[in-house]
Amino acid sequence: MIRNLLLAIAMTIMPSSVFAQSSEDATRLEQRGEDITAAMRGEAIYGEVFADGFVNAVPEAQFLAMLGQIESQFGPMIGIETVKPVTPNGAEIAIRFERGLASGSFTLEDAAPFEITGFVLNDIRPIGDSVEQLIDDIAALPGETSILVTGLGDGEPIAAHNADTQFAIGSTFKLYVLSALARSIAAGERDWEDVVPLSVRSYPSGVSQDWSQGSPVTLHTLATLMISISDNTATDQLIAVLGRDAVEAEVVASGHADPHAMLPFLTTRELFVLKSGDEIDPEEYRGADITWRREALASLAGIERDEAQVRNAFTSGPNSIEIEWLASANDIAAVLNRIVALEDKTALGILAVSSGVSDAMRADWDYVGYKGGSEPGVLNLSWLLRDNSGDWRVVTMSWNNAEAAVDQSAFELLGMRAIALASGE
């Protein structure tokens, strides 16, 4: 969603080298660029601008909804900024909005009527944005929100809103597992190349839940799956290898403002089983002490759920989001700071496998690491950034709404604005 705010269908890979274009090709591409914005305004017939394959994959209502999300962040669309032909039937395009510039590309059919087969906007840059406007837009979202844009270490943050408030953060909790693993390796207790047999199973997201029990897998592979595709079985396997107490100790050592809110440190399986059945009352769990909670979780160890039961528990809106992994924006910045302080290139490389930004935005930074997390009513986006001068930045944002699902696409657009402000744009 972050990388492609409009879906690309049958997108042709377009070389960056200049081709020997005809004036007819260039004129056709420029006209089709204008047709795209006309379709956005409702001034052109959608099915006559885009080919059937694109229309079937991206119905007009979905197309206009995506446009609405962009305009909600960057103001009304003004029109075409540039159309740059790069093949006889493909061009780069930039569309100007009141407070932003959206860039991407499109391709045409090889023959008449030369309808558009692929269109993508994958780089949206704010123009004339401000910290105050960004915070106002985040604060206006329904439910509770927070944001922190800051350099690592001392100094005033670039932007902060509810940065000390505890939020459910979804899979962003996996940063604590990565940090605990990296510290264990730094202490000589383990090595990234250590092989362990797969002995636990959770539920998707991920792929390793489908692997045979006993499959040999390295700690490096488990950590990469945990961070890059948020693999839940890989995560629980690492918690089993490290020991729950070691991860809990990392929460405390990181300076978490309310570590008891994270204890016992839930595995993903425990959270899914707890929320998809009635063996434990959520209100009782939330109000109980840590000893009672540990005993309650132990009682779930032998309970099996099928994936449909788990999925159904999370398809009707927010489900007891107060039972989650909880951290403030400042807490997340602190654990990222601990990972950076280790100077472990492997840990940093794992964080950077999936950057959560477009290739164009990624090129603005020397390093981009990312971890996010979500469930209905819960969303966190967290980036670790290093600029070309070697200075580190953190952008972390949370949105909780116990009454309704949150809009991931809208929050990601706010994240792109926050990253731009972090870079000084």
What is the distance between the alpha carbons of residues 108 and 373, in angstroms, rounded to a whole number? 37
Q: What are phi and psi of 391, to 5 degrees?
A: -85, 140
Q: Is the pLDDT of residue 14 over 80?
A: no
What is the distance between the alpha carbons of residues 425 and 257, in angstroms, rounded to a whole number? 32
Q: Is the pLDDT of residue 388 over 50?
A: yes
CB 236 within 8 A of CB 202: yes
What is the distance between the alpha carbons of residues 311 and 401, in angstroms, rounded to a whole number? 19
What is the distance between the alpha carbons of residues 42 and 61, in angstroms, rounded to a whole number? 11
Note every long-range contact of 221-228, with CB atoms under 8 Å and residues 24 or more positions apart, other chains counting: 222/196, 223/178, 223/181, 223/192, 223/347, 223/350, 224/350, 224/353, 226/174, 226/177, 226/178, 227/174, 227/178, 227/350, 227/351, 227/353, 227/354, 227/371, 228/350, 228/353, 228/354
Per DSSP, 280 falls in state: S
pLDDT confidence band for 425 (50 / 70 / 90): low
Question: Residue 13: its pLDDT value, please?
Answer: 39
Per-residue pLDDT tens digits for 344-371: 999 999 999 999 888 888 889 999 999 9
Per-residue pLDDT tens digits for 123-175: 888 888 899 999 999 999 999 999 999 999 778 999 999 999 999 999 999 99
More confident call, 186 vs 13: 186
Question: Residue 17: its pLDDT value, please?
Answer: 42
Q: HSE-up of 249 (CA within 13 Å, CB side)?
A: 10
Per-residue pLDDT tens digits for 85-136: 999 999 999 999 998 999 999 999 999 999 999 999 988 888 888 999 999 9
Structure-block tokens of residue 262: 């994270």
Question: Residue 21: its pLDDT value, please?
Answer: 61
Question: Residue 10: its pLDDT value, please?
Answer: 40
Structure-block tokens of residue 407: 């809009």
Question: Residue 324: its pLDDT value, please?
Answer: 96
Query: 3-class SS at 416?
Result: helix
Distant-in-sequence, close-in-space partners of 62: CB < 8 Å, separation ≥ 6: none
Mean of the pLDDT values across residues 316-337? 96
pLDDT confidence band for 1 (50 / 70 / 90): very low
pLDDT confidence band for 16 (50 / 70 / 90): very low
Beta bridge partners of 80: 95
Task: Return the closest-CA partner of residue 29 out of 122, 116, 124.
Answer: 116
Give the position of tokens 């986006």: 381
Per-residue pLDDT tens digits for 292-302: 999 999 999 98
Question: Residue 7: its pLDDT value, please?
Answer: 45
C-alpha R_g of the chain: 23
